[in-house]
Amino acid sequence: MTNFIFLDVTLGLVFVYLLLALMCTTVNEGIAGALKRRSKTLEVGIRGMLDGPGTTGGMTAQFYGHPLVRALAEEGKRPSYIPARTFAQVLTDLVAKPAAGGGSVQEVLEKVTKLGDGPLKRSLETILQGTSGSAKLEEVQGRMENWYNDAMDRVSGWYKRGSAGWVAVVAVAVTLATNADTMQIAQTLWTSPTLRAAIVEQAKARTEKPLTVEYTNPESPEPSPPYETGVEMGKLTAEEEKLLGQLMGWGDEFRKFNRMVAEEKAGDQGKRCLAECKTAAAANDQCTADVVAGKKKEDSLACTCREVLKKIEQAGESESIPGRAFFQYCSLAGSWIWGLLSQHLLGWLLTAIAVSLGAPFWFDMLKKIVNLRAAGKAPEKDEKKKVPQGATT
Amino acid sequence: MKLTMRRTGAALLIALLAAPVGARGGSVVLKKAWVEKYKNRATIEVKFTIDHSHKKPNRVKDDGDDGDLHMSGRAPKAGLPIVAEIVNAAEASQKNALLFVQANEGKEAGVTMKGVWRLWFEHPSSKEQKQFDPVPKPTDTNPKHVFEVHPVTGIGPNDILKSFVPIEGFTAYNAQTAFPYYEKIPVTVQSTSSAVTLISPQSRYNYAEFVIELAGPPHKREDGYMVMAIVRDAEGAMVVDGLRRMVFVEGTKAANAVKDKKKGYRMRVLGIPRVNLEALAVLARTAGPNGKKAKLPYEMIIVGHFPEV
């Protein structure tokens, strides 16, 4: 039984990492879009092919000024994706300017030899080596497409490496914003069978989602490779959001701080009440007893403490974000932050590292654990109850 | 004996539970070469033997009658049981086309017909339909089929591109009803080296009215335009996460209206769904012969557009 609890807690953690990683993906895509990182990286790659790194103007400027390339993006913007076919067509046009009807390969080969010395001339001479003048123009363009595709593989690598820093920063930000402490989440899951069961159900539902194909680039409507909708970017269901809310968040921490502020505001009287009566309910009981015993309310410490402790307890129930109080009570804020760090730092660190591994990694892991869990189920006690093989489809 | 009865009972129960699903769904096997040929085309041109035709177009009513004229027949180039539909068939401009259909009904030689190819599991057969297997002669205007030429753009000498306009008096399904439904249609895709099989339940909601917002420029294809768009309802709310491909047929009013437009342009349109063969081809690459469950990839054929958003 304990083995299953351990497996379910692990599954729960993996599921939480997946959901947080999906949130990170959404944020990262937003940042990449705002900073135009895709289009900029693409331009660096194309400049490296046509004019060499670090140059300005040149063939690259002509390439981006070509109507076929301009049509791939909004006016004044650079495309974030250029199909290989468009690249080859535009390059042929820029290098050889073939006459209407397509021109000949001979024409292209001659024009290449007349190009100024530079990376483009060297590259084209290399990739067109062995092409005869009688070959079809499509063959030449096919070779250019292959050259472009190889270069784009490298550009994708640059983009991924360039994104790594952002991924880590966003992972830390998401971890802190949600107060996702691995240790605390594991503890909550270990002690709550209801939450464990709910999270196992949600995890199973996510891994059973079907394959889909999407068109992510409107400038070049080509479908993406098929992917499982369980790893769909940023799509958290309402149930998943609710589960995350039960496992993490700042509510408890804000309650602690708000209570600390209320205790501070109550001053010495508050400290005395807490020491003598501990809770408002206990103070109320004592107050009633004092009145029954003939004591005046004004003379009863318990009766005074009842109101003081009620205020402290009400503040301790409030999840409101500490605003001005945070700055008014700097020393309290300091000890609160110190308490947070000592309690959560390790858990946050583990979460941030895990989340930065990315959604696809955790989705694969989740599928493996769900399968393992299914395979590990206790066998049917009565073999006779088994459904005949093949009858279930 | 008791054990055998129990097993038989269990099998029967499962068969009974599974039967309605099978009866409502269908399976079609397409040749991959055909998929590749048509995946980025709006239309198909076929030699069509008109076996049966409606004598007059459907009425236009709110209850689902859409004013189309149906005909069934055989077209070797499609290789599947086929139904063709002329939209807005009662319009005066379609009179010659209708007379042509009536004159050629039952003639084995067939006629040249061009129109939008449409694969959709609206009237699937309980038996698997395999492309380029012999197609039986239909017995009425609506045989079990998943393949249509709908809308027809030309038949014989008659150009009927003018029929691509909103159907007057007809209330299409609204975006909030139709699209969430399209998004949830499941399909099992099986793939071999030369063929791809689709198994999917019966699908509904032929005509939908919605607003598209161009996510990028329209892309010219051999016989029309394809554009990626955000799908919105009449109030402007997004109804689909992500982008969907919209298919405009060359020469139609809607295509002329969209071809020069840029990202952000909105138009209110009438459309019908069909399987997106380009996305299907991508799914088929990973499906394998045992099959993979997927969301049915679809795209919208734009039949008409409204003057205002």
> Nearest 10 degrees: CA dihedral of B200, B201, B207, B208?
-80
In a mutational test of the B interface, the residue from A78, A81, A215 whose CB has the highest number of chain B CBs within 10 Å is A215
CA distances from B184 to A300, B121, B295 (A): 68, 14, 7
Q: For residues A102 and B32, which has the higher predicted lDDT (pLDDT)? A: B32
More reliable by pLDDT, A381 or A387: A381
pLDDT for A384 equals 38
Q: What is the mean pLDDT of residues B242-266?
A: 94
Burial (CB count within 10 angstroms: exposed 0-12, middle 13-18, buried 19+), residue B21: exposed
List, for residues A11-67, the tens digit of each pLDDT value.
999 999 999 998 998 888 888 888 888 889 999 999 999 998 888 888 899 999 998
> Chain A: nearest CA to B287, how far in angstroms?
10
B82-86 and B224-232 as β-strands: parallel, antiparallel, unpaired? unpaired
Interface contact B279-A223, CB threshold 8 A: yes
A2-9 mean pLDDT: 82
Whether the predicted pLDDT of B277 surpasses 60: yes
Q: Do B244 and A213 touch (CB under 8 A)?
A: no
Portion of chain A with pLDDT greater than 70, in percent: 91
* CA atoms of B109 and B104, how far apart (whole Å): 9
Per-residue pLDDT for A5 more than 50? yes
User: Shortest CB distance from B245 goes to which of A74, A215, A225?
Assistant: A215
Which chain B positions have a beta carbon within 8 Å of A224's beta carbon? 282
Residues of A in contact with B183 (CB under 8 A): none
Question: What interhelical angle do A251-276 and A330-355 show, nearest 10?
Answer: 140
Contacts of A80 in chain B (CB under 8 A): none
> Which tokens hold the place of B181?
């439904």
User: What does the pLDDT look like over A205-214, one tens digit per residue?
Assistant: 888 778 888 8
Region A160-182: mean pLDDT is 91
The verdict on a CB contact (< 8 Å) between B217 and A219 is yes
pLDDT computed for residue B15 by the predictor = 39
Quick check: A212 and B217 CB within 8 A?
A: no
Average pLDDT of the segment spanning A131-154? 85
Contact B278 A229 (CB under 8 A): no
Name the β-bridge partners of B154.
B114, B159
Per-residue confidence (pLDDT) for residue A299, from 0 to 100: 85
Q: Spell B120-138 as b/e; 16+ CB within 10 A means b.
A: bbbbbbeeebbbeeebeeb
Closest chain A residue to B18, measured at CA: A393
B154-197: per-residue pLDDT in tens?
A: 999 999 998 999 888 888 899 999 999 999 899 999 999 999 99
User: What pLDDT digit, counting tens, does each position of A172-206 carry?
Assistant: 999 999 999 999 999 999 999 999 999 999 888 88
Structure tokens given for A322: 């500490």
* Cβ pair A212, A275 in contact under 8 A: no
A221 and B226: CB-CB below 8 Å? yes
Give phi and psi for B72, each to the nearest 5.
-115, 160
Least confident window among A36-40, A106-110, B205-209: A106-110
B295, A212: Cβ pair inside 8 Å? yes
CB pair distance less than 8 Å for B242 and A215: yes
- Using one digit for the tens of pLDDT, what is the confidence trace for A231-269? 654 568 788 888 899 999 998 889 999 999 999 888 888
| CB contacts, 8 Å: A219 with chain B | 216-217
Q: How many CB pairs under 8 A join A and B?
A: 83
The token duo for A212 is 């889909």
B120 or B64: which leads in pLDDT: B120
Chain A contact set for B6 (CB, 8 A): 384
- Asked if residue B271 has pLDDT above 60, the reply is yes
Q: What integer pLDDT is reported at residue B13 of this predicted model? A: 39
Among A137-151, B62-76, B181-195, the range scoring the smallest mean pLDDT is B62-76
pLDDT of residue A391: 31
Asked if A6 is an interface residue toward chain B (Cβ–Cβ < 8 A), one would say no
pLDDT at A392: 27
User: Is B278 within 8 Å of A223 when comparing Cβ atoms?
Assistant: yes
- CB-based contact (8 Å) between A214 and chain B? yes
Q: Which of B14, B188, B191 should one mutate to test binding to chain A, selecting the residue with the greatest count of A CBs within 10 A?
A: B14
Quote the minimal CA–CA distance from A148 to chain B in Å: 22
Tens-digit pLDDT profile for residues B225-245: 999 999 999 988 999 988 999
Whether residue A390 lies within 8 A of chain B, CB to CB, comes out as no
- Would you state the pLDDT for residue A3? 61
What is residue A2's predicted lDDT score, i.e. its pLDDT?
55
B6, B219, B295: residue with CB nearest A210: B295
The Cα-based distances of A111 to A93, A121, A124, A274, A379 in angstroms read: 11, 10, 11, 91, 74
pLDDT of residue B298 exceeding 80? yes
Q: What are A309-345's pLDDT values in tens digits?
A: 999 999 888 888 887 888 888 888 888 999 999 999 9
Cβ atoms within 10 Å of A231's Cβ, excluding its own: 23
Least confident window among A270-279, A376-385, B210-219: A376-385
- Asked if residue B9 has pLDDT above 50, the reply is no
Say if residue A376's pLDDT is above 80: no
Does residue A392 belong to the interface with chain B, where contact is any CB pair within 8 Å?
yes
Q: ipTM value of the model?
A: 0.76
Q: A215: nearest CA in chain B?
A: B243
Which chain A residue's Cα is nearest to B293?
A: A210
